[in-house]
Amino acid sequence: MLVVVCKQSLPTMSINDVDDDGINSLQQQLREKELRLTDVQLEALSSAHRLQQMQDAVKLLKACHDYTYNLKRLQD
């Protein structure tokens, strides 16, 4: 495993440096982002379901087509 250590230090904040409004604001932003993520995940799931339904319909239509083609061929 490769570990890279950055020698440049970033400013650190203690819990005392963050006020309640800042915490509340960050919590609200997190809730909003989680809701958006959930919406995107639900849309992706719905799209995947619709795609599967369409693939199943195409398979069924192909099977019906093959059946009628073979039936006509046998009748001739």
* Dihedral of alpha carbons 8, 10, 11, 16, sign: negative
Question: Would you give the DSSP letter of residue 53?
Answer: H
Q: Which residues contact 33 (CB under 8 A, 6 or more apart)?
A: none
Q: Predicted confidence band at 19 (pLDDT cuts at 50, 70, 90)?
A: confident
Look at the block and give the residue holding tokens 């809701």.
Answer: 35
Distance of CA 52 to the CA centre of its chain: 16
Which pLDDT tens digit goes with each residue over 21-59? 999 999 999 999 999 999 999 999 999 999 999 999 999
